[in-house]
A and B are shown apart, each in its own frame.
Chain A
Amino acid sequence: MTSTRDDSPQLNEPDFRRKLLAGGSAALAMTMIGGRSASAAGLSSTELDLLKFAQRIELSLHDLYDEALQVDKGSAAWTIMADSHESFAQAIAGFAGLSANERNEEVFGSYRAAMRGTDRAMTAYELESIAALTHIELLGKLSDAGSAEVIASIASAESRHCVVLADVLGSGSDVAMTLTNSAQPIEA
């Protein structure tokens, strides 16, 4: 036997109009707050600033590896490194709702020439060390566990990049280079 009862929610017209207006106003308010309001994780502005800072560093590293690719055209290692840092920036974008469109110009400008020079592998090693340590420092400031997870996974990968670059430099057995991060983090 089929029920003839209408189970759909009952809305009279004034109620429906009021709810429509309330929903529309809320959506409008969300868009007016700016790009930050897109944070699906409901992060504070301080948290978003810190994540933006991390994201800009990642975009700088991506662009710096692109500089190295101008010299070593088609290098698989530089391509993978560049792609990895772009992925890191995109991961932060996906988590926090921050567009990945702005690099850290200071970092980029400081290392651009070196990444085109003969010591570009050593420069890359330094950059990876700095980035890893900067992210680890950032973990002490981020309050959201989800943010911390994303940043931790990036710091872990960058620590591994350091070992690869040390090996490329012929220092794969040098424990000072492979096991120790003696870089200085960038202050957020």
Chain B
Amino acid sequence: MTTPTSPKSNNFDRRTLIRRGGLTLGLGAFLSACAADFGGDSAPGRVGLAQSKTELPEGVVNDVVYLRTMQSLEHSLVELLSALIASGYFSAAQQTYVERFVSDHVAASGVLGDHIVAAGGEPYACENEWVRNRFVNPVIAAVDSSDDSRRDARNVAHAFETMLAHSYQHLVGLAETPAHRQGLMSLGASASRRSALLATQISSAKYGYFGPGISSDAAETTEEGFPIGYAVPATFGQVGQILLVAGDVDDEGTRYSTLLQTPAENTFVYEYMSC
């Protein structure tokens, strides 16, 4: 019996493999070490296009922020009412007092600016961007395309003046300094008067002065579904949200509606913000 033997190669045995492998690695290391430095980023790779991490500014809430926020809302009212006046949606009689409202809002902004400077802050004499994008723009669009722009313009003016009154009263409870509370409420009382005046002009002849918070039989909406503004909606001054309905009826049988609210963290004009 013969034992088969594997053919032996004289050219490539295990020892040769180890020798050639070591030689290749050594040569690679030598060439890398001697290679020219062409620069380039050696940091770990990143996903995305941002140049650097963005640090969020610190939004400290204090009296100056409350005052700046109300100053911005005064300017929001100026912009809104001016747009409605320019579109010719008010009667001559209405325009008389709405124009007075505009000048009152400008004056209020000046008063607030004085309070802000006295408190060591920077005035913010321009409109509130959040309110512009969330409320003013869509509301103006709804009024412009309405089946009754005059009706809507009055209701819009009333709703925004009411929102302003609620906002001032709400911030009185948050402000720390008594002088700021007094300043806020002084302007808040004026806003309440404007709101009551509009309510009186719009609806008192048909629905009376006193709302459901006082008279249990007072209606909340008109037959068409518009909220009724009352000169005195409740016994005490209110701070709740205000339902506003405007615009033409859409394909689904509804109109544009929104809830106007008192300022909160997303509406505040922080001290790091500028016009």
Contact = CB atoms under 8 A, between A and B. Distances in A.
A175 B99 CA distance: 11
B231 A157 contact: no
Nearest to B172: A152
Interface stretch (B31-39, B40-48, B196-204): B196-204
A156 interface: yes
B232 interface: yes
A159 B193 contact: yes
A160 B232 CA distance: 6
Interface stretch (B79-87, B113-121, B174-182): B174-182
A136 B182 contact: yes
Nearest to A87: B235
Given A156-B237, A161-B232, A145 B173 contact: yes
B244 interface: no
B30 interface: no
Contacts of B236: 87-88, 91, 153-154, 156-157
A61 interface: no
B178 A178 contact: no
A179 B172 contact: no
A74 interface: no
B62 interface: no
B105 to A, nearest CB: 12
Contacts of A167: 200, 204, 209, 231
B174 A160 contact: no
Interface stretch (B142-150, B183-191, B264-272): B183-191
B248 interface: no
B193 A148 contact: no
Interface in A158-185: 159-164, 167, 172-173, 175, 178-179, 181
A172 B181 contact: no
A21 B149 CA distance: 73
B196 A152 contact: no
A30 interface: no
Contacts of B134: none
A121 B104 CA distance: 27
B173 A152 contact: yes
A164 B209 contact: yes
Contacts of B179: 140
A103 to B, nearest CB: 19
A179 B100 contact: yes
Contacts of A148: 172-173, 175, 178, 181
A178 B204 CA distance: 15
Interface residues of B, number: 42
B97 interface: yes
Interface in B182-231: 182, 185-186, 188-190, 192-197, 200-201, 204, 209-210, 214-215, 231
Contacts of A80: 210, 214-215, 232
A54 interface: no
B165 interface: yes
Contacts of B201: 172-173
A175 B190 CA distance: 11
A154 B237 CA distance: 6
A178 B189 contact: no
B200 A164 contact: yes
A181 B189 contact: yes
B235 A178 contact: no
Contacts of A172: 197, 200-201, 204
Contacts of B174: 145
Contacts of B189: 132, 136, 155-156, 159, 181
B182 A160 contact: no
Contacts of B178: 139-143, 148
A18 to B, nearest CB: 41
Interface string B74-116: 0000000000000000000100110010001000000000000
Given A145-B176, A160-B196, A161-B232, 20 more contacts: A80-B215, A84-B235, A132-B189, A142-B178, A143-B178, A148-B175, A148-B181, A149-B172, A152-B169, A153-B238, A155-B185, A156-B238, A157-B235, A159-B190, A164-B231, A164-B232, A167-B200, A173-B97, A179-B100, A179-B104
